[in-house]
Structure 1
């Protein structure tokens, strides 16, 4: 049940966060391997990017990749939040007073995040490629021309087999280790701090909301470079053997981005990323807390 609760919470949250994921993906791919000032700028900032996409592709353009995104977040967070909650219930993450032990929480969230990332990698691959597809006038990055999520999965499988569906999994697992550790650990510690005050003890939804928004700051700052690298690896063109044309792997991708786009290149789309992560993380963790409480009440009533 813990695993189902985590997945359901994430699927609900992804409906609201997906438009920012589209914006983030487009801005991360803009000016790929080009120095600032040496490429067209279709998306100047988050607001401008949203307006451009809506103008050129309609409002539906802001929800590209929603189907695979919802399933991906469900799969990833069933494993991530479910495993983390199981470890929490088993007492591995807290001290004698029931308060979160930071290093235990960080390790648990890293492991659970990596497990979820591995399981959801094919859907993350498809989601990224669908979100990058744009009207020709504002296209950035490689355009894969998929007709939809099923077409993308079948096309990749037919060309490159199961291995092709898990291309880039190492990058997304590293991304998840960093992001999940930062988010869940800061969320748990912040909730402990807030619950020392009576107002937050009595208003657990508010407590979860504030803690998750703050956790989103840490998550975004630490995860952004790894998120950008993951997006680039997933969206790059591949040769007939399924090998990346632009990047040979994580390290090569980091080096090429740093040398061609500079340090700031790693933080392209960071505002959109926070605007995606903060509401998604907030809604996901709030929904998670609500569903956990309902789960407890149900079992208390049943038994």
Structure 2
């Protein structure tokens, strides 16, 4: 009963279960910010105009468009990335002891790439369901839910069509997870070293806020380009990620690469908090119930 959180370990499968459950909770809480982020990135409107347009067109329901795709994305992408990261971190600490910042970021990037490939189809459908609101009625896909979206893409674009934009999605995930997971872990260590915050929810909360700033700043340019590629509606093949970024800079200016920063951070900060804190809570319970086992 006296064993600390640092001395506890949960089974490997629990890392994946925790990731999925916490990801779903985070998505439900922050989905409106996801909707605003996507709509801003495809319409180039301000946050205020996007929010008013969303509410004016669909009411409160408009802020939860694509929720089924968002939830399935969490059950695939977040379950995988957090489970893989926690497992890799545990293995690394068991064999090498304390891991440096670069290693933590690298493990986060590996986990993000693997998880995003698995969750790429649901991410594609989420983008299209939300972006539909910006299009004229006759051009909309009108997916009823994520299953309908998967079925329609498979029929009209082929099985591989489900992975349209997978490369930029994986690139974004590498940046997001490297920054989020690696910086979150590093921020906790830094905060503990100050002596002001040692453990518990305040530590996790502060670390989540710090890591979210870095995550958003580093990942949004890739996210904007990825969203444009996944929502590509022209008959020609969409450009690759580099070409899309260059085109955005040329036609809209460099600052436009950070379009949607406010809703992105408003989503990322609580998302990180909701995602990370439950996993540590489970570890704490493991400490009380399994004092002999070694940590996460």
TM-score band, normalised by shorter chain: 0.7 to 0.9
Residue 61 of structure 1 and its aligned partner are, at CA, apart by 0.5
Asked whether the equivalents of residues 22 and 276 of structure 2 are also in contact (C-alpha less than 8 Å), the reply is: yes
Q: Distance in 2 between matches of 1:146 and 1:211?
A: 38
Q: 1:175 to 1:93 in 2, by over 3 A?
A: farther
CA distance in 2, matches of 1:55, 1:287: 36
Quote the Cα distance in structure 2 between the aligned partners of 1:291 and 1:153. Answer: 34
What count of residue pairs does the alignment treat as equivalent? Answer: 280
For normalisation by structure 1, the TM-score amounts to: 0.85
Residue 201 in structure 1 maps to residue 198 in structure 2: yes
- 1:167/1:234 contact within 8 Å kept: yes
Unaligned runs of 5+ in 1: 32-42, 240-244
Matched, 1:292 2:289: no
Aligned-residue RMSD, C-alpha? 2.4
* 1:165 aligned onto 2:179: no
For the pair 1:6 / 2:7, whether they are aligned, the reply is no
TM-score of the superposed pair, with normalisation by structure 2: 0.87
Q: Answer 1 or 2: higher relative contact order, Cα 8 Å, separation at least 6.
A: 2
CA distance in 2, matches of 1:63, 1:272: 14
Instruction: For 1:38-187, list aligned pairs within 5 A.
Output: 43-45=45-47, 47-92=48-93, 96=97, 98=98, 100-134=99-133, 143-187=140-184
Quickly say closer, same or farther: Cα 1:264–1:246, change in 2 above 3 A. Answer: farther
Alpha-carbon contact 2:68-2:145 (below 8 Å) kept: no
CA 1:266/1:135 → structure 2, altered by over 3 Å: closer, same or farther?
closer
Structure (1/2) with the larger helix percentage: 2
Deviations 1:105-142 (CA, angstroms, capped at 9, x unpaired): 011000000001000000000011111122768x9xx7
Task: Sort the Cα spacing of 1:91 and 1:301 in 2 relative to 1 into closer, same or farther, 3 A.
Answer: closer
SS class of match (2:133):
coil
User: Is 1:21 equivalent to 2:21 in the alignment?
Assistant: no
Report SS of the residue matched to 1:293. helix
Shift of residue 299 of structure 1? 4.0
Is residue 33–residue 267 contact of structure 2 (8 Å, CA) maintained in 1? yes
Q: 1:248 to 1:54 in 2, by over 3 A?
A: same
Tell me how far 1:201 sits from its aligned partner.
Answer: 2.2
CA shift, 1:171, in A, is 0.5
